[in-house]
Structure 1
Amino acid sequence: MTMVSQQFSYVIGVDTHAKTHTLVALDHLGGKHGTAQTFPTTPPGLKRAQAWIERETTGPVLVAMEGTGSYGAQFCDLLTAAGVRVTETRPPKRGVRRAGKTDPIDAEHAARYALALPMEHLITPRNHAGHHAALTVLLTARAALKKAHSASNNRLTALLRGYGFGLDVRLALTAEQVKVVAAWRAHRNDDVGMVTIRAEAAREAREILSRQAELTANEKGLLKHVKALAPYLLLEHGVGAIVAAQLIVSWSHQGRIRSEAAFARFAGIAPIPASSGNTIRYRLHRGGDRALNTAIWVTTFYRYHHDPATAAYVEKRTKEGKTPKEIQRVLKRYIARHLFRVLDNHTILA
């Protein structure tokens, strides 16, 4: 097992913020090299930070930073383009915080955290460029749109259930009911209160229709970029544009996730023993990337109900005495393994 300290001459810790980044350099033995330096996050400031790294170090260099997908994204891309290896570090644990918290302390912690790792445990940042960037932005926008759509739907349902209007709203609103409400106008016999309530209901309905149109356009955008990057994913049962987009964004590129077992744990699907006595049971890991977990669950749900091969497997395992939840957990683990191999054995197009 090769350690980071054996592979790199220096490790640079970076504490990232919106306005400044603070850098601390350690040699391969853990000794501090020089003093901490702080640079603005403007393009010239990031160039100066890169020049400082090149000036202060010799030999192979590893840069360890938090927030490679947010505050540190531009610096990460700049260093990666220059051929510098970048790894993402996790925030310090509570016990480490007892030593104090300043930007130089956090930067040094990032460097020491990476220095103590085996090479295979380094976290490679996600791809932030081109189609990958477009997918990331579209998925973030989709989550916000769905939240807004759900909120509008709940508000409209509450209005209609509270004031009637002659619609049967005992169950969830249908698309046709929303269209009817969106076309409402004030009635002659409405009092001042009902005029306002009817107008607000119509506004909420139009908001729902608008969000639905935006979600449809969003899915078309996702499909466009998925086809450009990994069209083969769409050939998999239960994998559509939204699921494929999340798989690509979470996985990112070959080499980022070292094995299918690591991918399963990253997705929160790795089984955890929960046995007792003669009963052998496993439960799912509840951490990991929950968006990726949801994407794999959607694929599992589709196959569970629509794929003949999966239906035959479910029937077989049911006869063996397995519960539906246990069968679904096994299926999720199998599908995670299969999708990782599909991703890792193909070349993501540029």
Structure 2
Amino acid sequence: MMHDNDSSAVVVGIDTHADTHHVAVITNYGRPLVDVMVPATASGYREALALVGEYSQVDKVGIECTGSYGAGITRKFLDAGYTVVEVNQPNRFDRRRRGKTDQFDAYAAAEAVLSGRATALPKGNDGLVESLRVLRTTRSAAVRDRTAAINQIRAMLVSAPESLRQKYRGLTTSRLVAALAATRPPAQPVTAAESTAVCLRHLARRYKFLDEQVADLLRQITRLLDDHAPALMEVYGAGPDSVAQLLITAGDNPERMRSERHFAALTGASPIPASSGKTNRYRLNRGGDRQANSALHHIVLVRMHYETRTREYVERRIAEGKTKREIMRCLKRYVAREVFPILKSTLEPNLGAKTLDKAI
């Protein structure tokens, strides 16, 4: 039945969990209308859409955790043509005063959208950005585990019996791993030396397996970037890992792509005043997305070592009395300004007209 007893719009709030979602509807002046709990399944999503579809005018739909528990229902509401807003967390004052339930959190999500506290657009869960995210996340985990494996190998060799230490002393990482992986220790070790040899072989084989994963995932990331973001790959000093991270950061925050100043703040590359008395200076920005800032940092390091123009700039600024940190802050800002239009042109098809209209 269509609820159209007045012409006012309604606002929807959804509290999401792994197994269930709670949907609440309020009027555009905050009066609760109805709430219902639905399962986090395809049938539950249809039930939620049917409930919301009973109202002729739906202003916005506020959903918690659009990138995790709420990803599925977010896609359904976006496909149905609703304007979805991400709600990051409930109002802490209301939670302390009124307690916490799923019903309350759903109404709190709707109230956050109605009051304007929640304005962020939901993260995209398909397309180039999401592909890069899952590939880069998996690769980063593999790199971390690979580093842990080689560190464990070296630590075990330090305390290993002299016969093992002498055999592998002075080898490079690649030769050490290859030698250990090819060993044939006893299948049923008894002594400490035999047990150590078995563990070293397992660690070496784990390292080789993870090394192959890292290389394969990097090839997949590079292929995607070569196909969809060739202009970014041509930026001097930008490798696949840095380009992928910048695209992920920009794609996760489409509302922050209004200008290169906003993008610089998002990546922690905007100047922060740190003046006092007769000293006028700016310091490094420790805010923003730190992984994106790290990507800019790697680009700057490559340019400082290999690009003639950047090396001349560094020498000139050092002669002016600037510190290395201040110079790198300036260079990060320049790189952010350089890559912003390329990022925006790459992501515009994925951001969609709704995002661009909001940015304007």
Q: Cα offset for 1:253? A: 8.0
Instruction: Specify the alignment match of 1:340 in structure 2.
Output: 340
Q: Cα offset for 1:227? A: 2.7
Instruction: Specify the alignment match of 1:70 in structure 2.
Output: 68
- Rounded to whole Å, the distance in 1 between the matches of 2:277 and 2:199 is 60
Cα distance, 1:82–1:65 mapped onto 2, change above 3 Å: same
Which whole-Å deviations, capped at 9, do the CAs of 1:170-197 have from their partners, x for residues lacking one? xx9532222222223349xx98211111
- Rounded to whole Å, the distance in 1 between the matches of 2:80 and 2:264 is 32
Instruction: Specify the alignment match of 1:201 in structure 2.
Output: 200
Give aligned pairs, total.
Answer: 335
Q: Cα offset for 1:16? A: 1.0
Runs of at least 5 residues in structure 2 that lack an aligned partner in the other structure: 1-7, 351-360
Letter aligned with residue 344 of structure 1: K
The within-5 A match list for 1:134-173 is: 134-163=131-160, 165-166=165-166, 167-168=168-169
Letter aligned with residue 281 of structure 1: R
- Rounded to whole Å, the distance in 2 between the matches of 1:138 and 1:115 is 36
Instruction: Specify the alignment match of 2:127 in structure 1.
Output: 130
Residue 85 of structure 2 corresponds to residue 87 of structure 1 = yes
Q: CA RMSD in A?
A: 2.6
Q: TM-score, normalised by structure 1?
A: 0.86
| Alignment check: 8 A CA contact 2:13 2:109 kept | yes
Residue 275 of structure 2 corresponds to residue 275 of structure 1 = yes
Cα distance, 1:200–1:255 mapped onto 2, change above 3 Å: closer
Letter aligned with residue 215 of structure 1: V
Q: Cα offset for 1:135? A: 1.7
Instruction: Specify the alignment match of 1:5 in structure 2.
Output: none
Runs of at least 5 residues in structure 1 that lack an aligned partner in the other structure: 1-7
Which whole-Å deviations, capped at 9, do the CAs of 1:58-78 have from their partners, x for residues lacking one? 335211122111111111111
- Rounded to whole Å, the distance in 2 between the matches of 1:232 and 1:145 is 28
| Alignment check: 8 A CA contact 1:229 1:349 kept | no
Q: Cα offset for 1:126? A: 2.2
Cα distance, 1:191–1:110 mapped onto 2, change above 3 Å: closer
Q: TM-score, normalised by structure 2?
A: 0.84
Instruction: Specify the alignment match of 1:23 in structure 2.
Output: 23
- Rounded to whole Å, the distance in 2 between the matches of 1:32 and 1:117 is 16
Instruction: Specify the alignment match of 1:240 in structure 2.
Output: 239
